[in-house]
Structure 1
Amino acid sequence: MSAPIFHGGGITAAAATFGGRPEDWLDLSTGINPCPTALPEIPKKAWHRLPDSYLVDEARRAAGDYYGSGKILPLPVPGTQSVIQLLPRLLTEGGGARTDGKVAMVDNRVAVVAPTYGEYTRAFISAGFAVDTVGDVAAIGARHRLAVVVNPNNPDGRTWPVETLIGLHDRMKAANGLLVVDEAFGDAVPALSLAGNMQRLSNLVIFRSFGKFFGLAGLRLGFAIAHEDILKRFEEWLGPWAVSGPALSIAGSLLRSDVSPIRRLIDERAAALHSVLTGVGLQVAGRTALFALVDHARASDIYTHLGRHHILVRKFDYAPAWLRFGLTPGPAADLRLGEVLQRFER
């Protein structure tokens, strides 16, 4: 078993290290919309009863329309982390990645375009697979049974054009391999999504996060988009009632709502964060709509300085010069962050 990965959001641990009450901290360590979307009305029966199939079906239809996957209806899952854990089973219990009934006969290797979300590598190493971390999709070849690309990427915001990823899919399919594209940060840039091409991309799995864009990460809700043979396996392995009735009800409502005000607000918050960071002389090395990556030789000192002022950002053990800043919830937090950064002694 590989070592656990430390993610953002650890306010309680940060408060234990630097002091203060957790509720007084400014948490910028996650890539989550800091202005949660208002919850729609949730029917009482969604709380009272086990989630019935009509709730699942409605959430799937709403997600299919929202993501543009056509007749292929996304599968609700209890957070995409739950299905990341299942990916090795696609290769070990499902007869391998399949194309027209053929079983994959390539080496026991997986490619992950890195640096990126570390749980992919951890899941495959824990399952006994050899993992090649590569810097470019061009380095992925016929020796790989499965490839993972996060688009837009976390933590550097790198993006891959749709045509490039379709080409990668076709190479993987020709070798009876499988492509996984994580679009967790894709809501703000729908043109980057492969979901609209899903009908012809039989060896593709797309993961979408619900909580990041809508600011409702506590729901633990995501969607997997793939052809039915793969989704059926995920559904079987997750077991019955994997997603709660309230989460399904909320998804069915919000995915059919007008999300343009959410996009505008996120864009405003992203612009404000960029202004604060560049205004104090920090170099933004990459970003998405929901976070910015700073590259600084004294990143560790900045992290500690912010912690002493009860502001939490994300640091990286594999890239000690990087810090990731999530969006602030409003102008007062922008001012607080800017003043603290301004006091950092360079």
Structure 2
Amino acid sequence: MFEKPTATPALVAHGGNLHEAAQRYGMAWETWIDLSTGINPHGYPVPPVPATAWRRLPDDGDGFAACAARYYGAPDAQHVLPVAGSQAAIRALPALLPRTRVAIAPLTYGEYAPAFAQAGHEIAPLDVTHDALPDAIVHAVVVNPNNPTATHLDATRLLRWHAQLAARGGTLIVDEAFADAFDAPQANTLARATDRQGLVVLRSPGKFFGLAGARCGFALAQPALLGALRARLGAWTVSGPARHAVIHAFEDSAWQRTMRVRLAAESARLVALLRAHGFAPHATPLFAWVTDPRAPALQDALARHAVWTRRFDAPASLRFGLPASEDEWRRFEHALAQAMRAIG
């Protein structure tokens, strides 16, 4: 007989639920501008997928992990595990770590707290302004840059925290899902340090490369921990077509350089637009975040113009991704002006 699960996995609200918004507001899905996800709207142009990628099981001999190690700057392929989106690792990792107290920022990517709670850990709030972590903290999760607040911590502080946790037998998990979009992305990553005990870095090509639908991510850590994670997740975690797309994206350095310049310019345009309406945005190259007590009303007012954003409640705030075209920019600018007048 199978044991009945002790807890049901929590479902977390995310952006990208455009069909739900279209149904709620009674407007066709195709008419909407989706600014709710922070995914690059100018995604990598994946070359045609060979038939063998569809017909054969994914083969670890294809050099996929080694390609990711080169791109991210990890020590070698043994320190990289491809997973079905970093989400798969987020849900599986807590069960592999000793049950204790884990520090997670009150406002960050929402999957971490329920994953650790389900695995029996105690959740404590993480204050990212502290140089030293409280003695009672054994594990910590840092999303860097943070989603949605855009807070970016330097590698020196993170390595200092890691040393504190490692001395307690703990683990630091650093989620760098949005790190690729910055200029010189390897300058502040901890990928190169993942040969250290108690350090896990999660990366995703879904955001910067706009390949979220590939459901591909990477866990970077010591081989022993990755072996345990692989045993839990099972075989063939990333499909052949996804591997094909991501390898091409990682090896296309010219596209990466051009796209980082483009995203920096578009992020500056988004920040300027929000400031013109009285907001004080915090931004990464892929999204901007604003706090305002009128956030629920503003999200609703924008939705009535078929513009979908991501809302947070504590504090009341909105996250805006980048429009995909000049036509979307014009529509968004008009919708924002109309929405601001509507909410007063």
TM-score, with structure 2 as normaliser: 0.91
Distance in 1 (CA, whole Å) between partners of 2:12 and 2:257 is 34
How far 1:74 moved relative to its partner? 1.6
Q: Could you list the runs of 5+ residues in structure 2 that have no partner in the other structure?
A: 1-7
Counterpart in the other structure of 1:234: 229
| Correspondence 1:300 to 2:296 | yes
Counterpart in the other structure of 2:148: 155
Aligned-partner residue type, residue 83 of structure 2: V
Q: Could you list the runs of 5+ residues in structure 1 that have no partner in the other structure?
A: 97-106
Counterpart in the other structure of 2:46: 39
How far 1:3 moved relative to its partner? 4.7
| Correspondence 1:168 to 2:164 | no
Counterpart in the other structure of 2:272: 275
Query: How much identity, in percent, do the aligned residues show?
Result: 39
Distance in 2 (CA, whole Å) between partners of 1:295 and 1:15 is 25
8 A Cα contact 1:117 1:155, kept in partner? yes
How far 1:2 moved relative to its partner? 6.8
Aligned-partner residue type, residue 114 of structure 1: P
Deviations 1:133-174 (A, max 9, x none): 122254633423311011100111001111101111111111
8 A Cα contact 1:184 1:212, kept in partner? yes
Distance in 2 (CA, whole Å) between partners of 1:169 and 1:152 is 17
Distance in 1 (CA, whole Å) between partners of 2:18 and 2:181 is 26
Superposition RMSD in Å = 1.6
Aligned-partner residue type, residue 166 of structure 1: L
8 A Cα contact 2:144 2:151, kept in partner? yes
8 A Cα contact 2:79 2:194, kept in partner? no
Structure 1 runs of 4+ aligned residues shifted over 4 Å read none
Distance in 1 (CA, whole Å) between partners of 2:83 and 2:140 is 21
Counterpart in the other structure of 1:83: 89
TM-score, with structure 1 as normaliser: 0.90
The change in CA–CA distance for 1:153 and 1:203 in structure 2 (over 3 A counts) is same
SS of match in other structure, 2:57? coil
| Correspondence 1:129 to 2:136 | no
Counterpart in the other structure of 2:107: 115
Distance in 1 (CA, whole Å) between partners of 2:46 and 2:137 is 43
How far 1:283 moved relative to its partner? 2.5
Deviations 1:91-112 (A, max 9, x none): 2xxxx3xxxxxxxxxx721111
Aligned-partner residue type, residue 81 of structure 1: Q
Counterpart in the other structure of 1:59: 64
Counterpart in the other structure of 1:69: 74
Among 14, 21, 28, the alignment partner of 2:35 is 28
SS of match in other structure, 2:320? strand
Distance in 1 (CA, whole Å) between partners of 2:279 and 2:314 is 20
| Correspondence 1:336 to 2:331 | yes
Distance in 1 (CA, whole Å) between partners of 2:237 and 2:96 is 18
8 A Cα contact 1:145 1:177, kept in partner? yes
8 A Cα contact 1:141 1:172, kept in partner? no
Distance in 1 (CA, whole Å) between partners of 2:131 and 2:220 is 24
Distance in 1 (CA, whole Å) between partners of 2:39 and 2:191 is 22
8 A Cα contact 1:148 1:179, kept in partner? yes
